[in-house]
Amino acid sequence: DTGVSQDPRHKITKRGQNVTFRCDPISEHNRLYWYRQTLGQGPEFLTYFQNEAQLEKSRLLSDRFSAERPKGSFSTLEIQRTEQGDSAMYLCASSWLAGETGELFFGEGSRLTVL
Amino acid sequence: AQSVSQHNHHVILSEAASLELGCNYSYGGTVNLFWYVQYPGQHLQLLLKYFSGDPLVKGIKGFEAEFIKSKFSFNLRKPSVQWSDTAEYFCAVNAGTGRRALTFGSGTRLQVQP
């Protein structure tokens, strides 16, 4: 499968714990995005990378959230001191800059449940 | 800032009925517009997109959408829905350069009854 892959698919944690999600984009894509989706809502933008540079962060991304893409390939999204409000589906997407229309290719998501 | 409104939150249709889902965006400049679909248990997939040229765009599975610049709209249509079209549909927009992340609407849940 050469699509966007995310791991883990589902994470259950207790409030206050740290969690980390990993995303492997489509190999030739140089842009990588993180979105969050809650029930009944559309995906909300969190942050995106072009190669290893983090170019934009949403105001939704509090200090407890950090994302990295150290070598311009896979990315990690870490949430520290999780809260129940962090429960959501975390979506990763990738795209190819040269396309310039911004079409995104999504992974299946990592569902976080904070107890 | 760019934003998207989808006014129909939940639509229930019978098979063979026609479909039109509304999408309005807010952005003053050139835009790229998208419809994504999320079938139950699956990831978001691109249905169709508009970035220039003919404002009537055709996508997969018989869907089409019309970009009406004067109305800031990009409504999705299908003449005859099937049970397999049951899914959640999201409209999305980004600025014409494609250099910003997509902004999504809240989605419309379509339920097609056999």
* Inter-chain residue contact B98 with A102, CB threshold 8 Å: yes
State the pLDDT at residue B96: 60
Nearest CA in chain B to A39: B106
* Inter-chain residue contact B105 with A42, CB threshold 8 Å: yes
State the pLDDT at residue B1: 72
State the pLDDT at residue A61: 84
A62-104 residue pLDDT tens: 899 999 999 889 999 999 999 999 999 999 999 886 655 668 8
Tokens standing for residue B54: 């003919």
A99 phi/psi in degrees, rounded to 5: -65, -35
Q: How far is CA B111 from CA B17, B22, B83, in A?
A: 12, 16, 8
State the pLDDT at residue A102: 66
- To 5 degrees, how large is the angle CA B15–CA B83–CA B49? 100
Contacts of B60 in chain A (CB under 8 A): none
A85 phi/psi in degrees, rounded to 5: -70, -10
* Inter-chain residue contact A42 with B101, CB threshold 8 Å: no
State the pLDDT at residue A99: 56
State the pLDDT at residue B98: 55
How many DSSP H helices and E strands does chain B contain? Answer: 0, 12
A27-57 residue pLDDT tens: 888 899 999 999 889 999 999 999 999 988 9
List residues of B whose CB lies inside 8 A of any A CB.
4, 6, 9, 32, 34, 36, 42-46, 49, 51, 90, 92, 94, 97-107
Given a contact cutoff of 8 angstroms between Cβ atoms, the answer to whether B46 and B54 are in contact is no
Q: Classify A56 as helix, strand or coil.
A: strand
> Is 70 exceeded by the pLDDT of residue A1?
no
Q: How confident is the model at residue A11 (pLDDT cuts 50, 70, 90)?
A: very high
State the pLDDT at residue A105: 92
State the pLDDT at residue A26: 93
Given a contact cutoff of 8 angstroms between Cβ atoms, the answer to whether A67 and A75 are in contact is yes
Q: How large is the C-alpha radius of gyration of chain B?
A: 13
Q: Which residues contact A13 (CB under 8 A, 6 or more apart)?
A: A19, A82, A112, A113, A114, A115
pLDDT tens for chain B, 114 residues: list them.
778 999 889 999 999 999 999 999 988 788 889 999 999 989 999 999 998 889 999 999 999 999 999 999 999 999 999 999 999 999 999 876 656 788 999 999 999 999
> Is 90 exceeded by the pLDDT of residue A108?
yes
